[in-house]
Chain A
Amino acid sequence: MTAPLVDIDSVSHRFGQQTVLKSVSLKIEPGSYTILLGPSGSGKTTLLSILGGFVTPSEGKVFIRGVDCTSLPPAKRPTTTVFQDYALFPHMSVGSNVGFGLRMQGVDGSTRAARARKALALVGLASSFDKKPHQLSGGQRQRVALARALVIEPAVLLLDEPLGALDLKLRRQMQDELKAIQKRVGTAFIHVTHDQEEAMALADHCVVMNDGRIEDEGPPERVYARPATRFSATFMGESTILAGTVTEASDRTSTVATPVGQVSLPSALPVGSAVGLAIRPEHLVLGAAGGGVRLGSAEVSDVVFQGSFKRVLAVSVEDPSLQFIARLPAWAAVQPGDTVAVSCDTDQIILLMD
């Protein structure tokens, strides 16, 4: 196996009294698209700043291409950053902005212009070479920032909430473009966001962060389908979580007592341990033709029509403190006040050990 492109080795960081990163280790493969996902204050932006060289970590080391970069300045490491506010130089033309990094490397004017044009063409802005940044729209500025960072061919491109300032529609469109550009240039992208849809759409490798720690990491499909922790089950998409206690266990199966009845699971668990059972909204079945696991009945409290589906909230009859979140087809005839049976399939239950 090849060495990882980036190797973050037990990095911790403190701002004054506050510890924002707690012994984080992470490896990043060449050519991958990595997303650091987490709520604000989770440490994801600090981790990115440490990778970019803007912050020196209090403890731990950062290796890029096997070289210790922990205290190397931003200019000297093979990373470039796309800033959240783009940080385009307002007094320079788009072309000069994109050519700036090459100019600092001493590349001559005509080569510089040619390469800047090529980079602008890559992001679909070939015609904006002579414009000033303030003449561009938000999405276009975003692309200029991308071109400016890519033109000096970094080993790793760092993106700090790059789509945060764009409106929803433009954000979805830029997502597709970012992914396409990344595939074309083959540079490893590390992208920070708090938007889980963005994370699922873009990532090859998704890293869920919370409170200065990595909660979960892996391909987004795996992180979504089998979240490792309660936090990642709720942050990466919604879930209904049943609290339960293991009452019986055999070689292959266990029985878990929950407020809505017994649930048997195809895995061996220590008797007496407390577990959480998470079920994704699209896996909950409301109504008679149910799945294999019965979860009691519930009274529908709210139905929200969302175009392609209906989001349904229902309160458990057995345990009024429990709320089911379900996703039903748009044509489903369900109304607030209805009492329905709730069920799901065994293999859709996500087991969370707390």
Chain B
Amino acid sequence: MRRIVRIVSWLYALAVYGFIFLPVVVLVLFSLQSTSFPIPPFTGPSLRWYDVVLSDTRLTSALVNSLLVASISSLAAVTLGFLSAWGFARFVLPGSGLLRGLITLPLTVSYLIIGMGLLVLFNWAGVPKSLLAAGIGHVVINLPLCFAIIYSQMGDHQINIERAARDLGAPEWKVLLLITVPVMAPAIFAGFFLSMTFSWDEFVISFLLTRFDTTLPVEIWNLLRSGLNPKTNAVGSLVFAVSIVLVVLFELTLLRRRKA
């Protein structure tokens, strides 16, 4: 009985892994295609399409734009999220529950609707489409996330640590800089990292709110108009590789932290 469960389990797990990996394997494999169509039979391996991608200035500038938007908007989101989490966790504010609810509300609304709202507003206010507009949208989606992560980590123990610092004579700004930020660093870092990931991968808001200068997902979307194309495979594989490297780095720093 136990043995049958084991065998069935293994087969099932393998099947699901197969399903999960199938598109990624196909993507990477046909990015190495030497001919013009990313379909069987495989004609590679060749780095031809990577060459094409890296010399395409539209794609490379979109990549730089994406990194800029992701890092700046994440920095803004994590700063606003941290300050508000600190305020709500440490002080009694009238209507605190309602206000916290307001800050986390965008989490329940789809990106499409957030993007639509901003598009209508900016259209009325005469704000032109730009990377800045998309960045504003990215802060809207990531701020509640950063707030929720950091707020949930501010427990009673942290409150006591801050009380101890005040008791020993630290003024409020020193409590913040010397105690709260270092102690909360893992949550702050996690919020920033998640924001980076979401902003980096976000499509709909950038699509609606940018025009000429745009982010990488939108530029990849534009490539799709040309149908199946090994160039798209190459871009996708590059994005994948960069993300994996970042994730592994993240895991390693986390592990090191835990061991230290």
Contacts and interface: CB of A to CB of B under 8 A. Distances in A.
Interface in B234-255: none
Interface stretch (B5-13, B67-75, B164-172, B210-218): B164-172
A contacts with B: majority SS:
loop
Interface in A72-128: 73-75, 79-81, 83-85, 87-91, 100-101, 104-105
Interface string B168-187: 11110010000100110100
Contacts of A148: 164, 168
Interface in B203-235: none
Q: Could you say which interface size class chain A belongs to?
A: 20 to 34
Contacts of B169: 75, 101, 104-105, 152
B163 A83 contact: yes
B168 A101 contact: yes
A149 B169 CA distance: 11
Interface in B120-171: 157, 160-161, 163-171
Contacts, number: 59
A147 to B, nearest CB: 12
B183 A91 contact: yes
A54 interface: yes
B160 A87 contact: yes
A52 B161 contact: no
Contact of A54 (B163, B179, B185): B163
B29 to A, nearest CB: 46
Contacts of B161: 87-90
Nearest to B161: A87
A83 B167 CA distance: 11
Nearest to A77: B167
Nearest to B167: A74
A107 to B, nearest CB: 11
A205 B165 CA distance: 29
A54 B166 CA distance: 10
Contacts of B179: 89
Contacts of A104: 168-171, 174
B165 A100 contact: yes
Nearest to B164: A87
Contacts of B167: 52-54, 74-75, 79-81
A89 B165 contact: yes
A86 to B, nearest CB: 8
Contacts of B164: 81, 83, 87-89, 148
Contact of A90 (B166, B174, B183): B183
A226 to B, nearest CB: 37
Given A90-B183, A91-B183, A74 B171 contact: no
Interface in A292-330: none
Interface in A210-242: none
B155 to A, nearest CB: 10
A75 B183 contact: no
Given A75-B170, A91-B183, A104-B170, A85 B160 contact: yes
Interface of A: 52-54, 73-75, 79-81, 83-85, 87-91, 100-101, 104-105, 148-149, 152
A-B residue pairs, 9 tightest by C-beta: A101-B168, A104-B169, A87-B164, A87-B160, A74-B167, A91-B182, A75-B169, A87-B161, A104-B170
Given A75-B170, A89-B161, A148-B164, 7 more contacts: A74-B166, A75-B166, A81-B163, A83-B163, A89-B164, A89-B183, A100-B170
8 contacts: A54-B163, A74-B166, A74-B167, A80-B168, A83-B160, A90-B161, A104-B168, A104-B174
